[in-house]
Amino acid sequence: MATKKRTTIKDVAREAKVSIASVSRVLNGSGGVTPETQEIVRATAARLSYVPDNAARSLITGRTNTVGAVLPDLYGEYFSELIRGIDLAARARGLHLLVSSSHDGVDAAAAAVRAMRGRVDGMLILSEFVDAAFLEANLPSDLPAVLLDSPVKSTRYPALNIDNFAGANAMVRHLLDLGHGSVALIAGPRGNFDAQEREKGYRSAMASHAPKAALNIVAGDFTEESGYRAGRELLAQKVRPRAVFAGNDMMAVGCLYAFREAGLEVPRDIALAGFDDILIARYVTPPLSTVRVRIADMGKSALLMLAELMDGSGPPAASIHTLGCDVVVRDSCGERHIRAGL
């Protein structure tokens, strides 16, 4: 279809009265061609609006100039920012982007990864289903890849992670500094890597800045609904906490609704903070203090890393890079100013 009867290099060669080799040389800038010949070839190619066939080119060069991005079924805002970061960086390097999202299980993820074989020169993988065995089984050993936000300590692939620990730690510390004697945590889903790191950050901040205060952790699963339930659970405790740190913004929003429903005013009666800085955070009442994650940067950095890997000049395999977060202080935690860059 696409390549039904396009003009080929032969047509150009014939029209330009040169050999196909010369045409190839000119169009690839391989040098060794007279300026005059170059001119003729270029003109003819333009006249016939010749476009080299990528399949043929890939077949012989072994390169596709395409990178693949495998992403899970994830929440809109995060996804689009990430993709944008990746796409921009890819375009800047003349690379195309093949995406595959929405995988709801290991098998789907594996299929997605495998389907990209031979179509891409490198891959960006972000999936909770990825582990060392998964990679071993589904990735050709010679295909460069970069792992995003992954717990895998692979010896073969570099990983790029968000500093969930530091972000959570900083936010809890901030809450504590504000004078809220003790902070409760609404945890994220058990198996989730981000959730675990954030919880660790919470524990660490509590241990170092409020060693006498008891830990107060209620369960959640990153959904608004679970945040709402957690909020009610918190209010039912004998002593109502002074501040709550939710493992992500959606839960914070749910929690906010629970508080509002109970007639409490945030932050006067109880302080609240989230994590992610999703768009909504700015628009709820009161605006939510949260931890901003620079997703687009992560996409960009990941692509750059992958590109280097593909050039053979990349970072040592197994390196783990970490991207910082910013504490964004809005109204929900009881103070107003911005503390950035940790």
H or E element at residue 191: none
Binding to its own copies by CB under 8 A, coded x per residue (else -) over 279-298, reads xx--xxx-------------
Polymer length of the chain: 342
Task: Kindly tell me the burial class for residue 303, based on how many C-beta atoms sit within 10 Å of its own C-beta (0-12, 13-18, 19 or more).
Answer: buried
Q: Are 145 and 90 in contact (CB under 8 A)?
A: no
Nearer to its own copies, 60 or 236 (CB): 60
Stretch that binds DNA, among 19-27, 86-94, 125-133, 202-210 (CB under 7 A): 19-27
Window contacting its own copies (CB under 8 A); options: 32-40, 82-90, 265-273, 326-334: 82-90
Site for its own copies contains 51 (CB under 8 A): yes
- CA–CA distance, 199 with 21 (Å, rounded to integer): 62
Within a 10 A sphere around the Cβ of 4, how many other Cβ atoms?
5
Q: Is 204 exposed, middle or buried (0-12, 13-18, 19+ CB in 10 A)?
A: middle
Residues 47-86 that bind DNA (CB under 7 A): 50, 52-53, 56-57, 59-61
Q: Does 305 bind its own copies (CB under 8 A)?
A: no
Least distance to DNA, CB of residue 45, Å: 10
262 binds its own copies (CB under 8 A): no
Q: Is 19 in the site for DNA (CB under 7 A)?
A: yes
Cα dist from 240 to 45, 232, 264, whole Å:
75, 11, 11
The partner in contact with residue 131, picked from its own copies, DNA, none with C-beta cut-offs of 5 to 8 angstroms by kind, is: none
8 A C-beta contact, residue 342 and residue 326? yes
* Closest to 150 (Cα-Cα) out of 202, 196, 104: 196
Is 16 in contact with 23 (CB distance < 8 Å)?
yes
Q: What is the 3-state secondary structure (H, E, C) of 222-245?
A: CCHHHHHHHHHHHHCCCCCCCEEE
Q: Tell me the site size for its own copies, rule CB under 8 A.
A: 56
Nearer residue to DNA within complex by CB, 30 or 285 = 30
Site string (114-133) toward its own copies, x via CB under 8 A: xxxxxxxxx-----------
Residues that bind its own copies (CB under 8 A): 1-6, 51-56, 58-59, 62-64, 66, 73, 76-77, 79-81, 83-84, 87-88, 91, 96-102, 114-122, 140, 142-144, 253, 279-280, 283-285, 310
Residues that bind DNA (CB under 7 A): 3, 6, 8-10, 17-22, 24-25, 27-28, 30, 32-34, 36-37, 50, 52-53, 56-57, 59-61
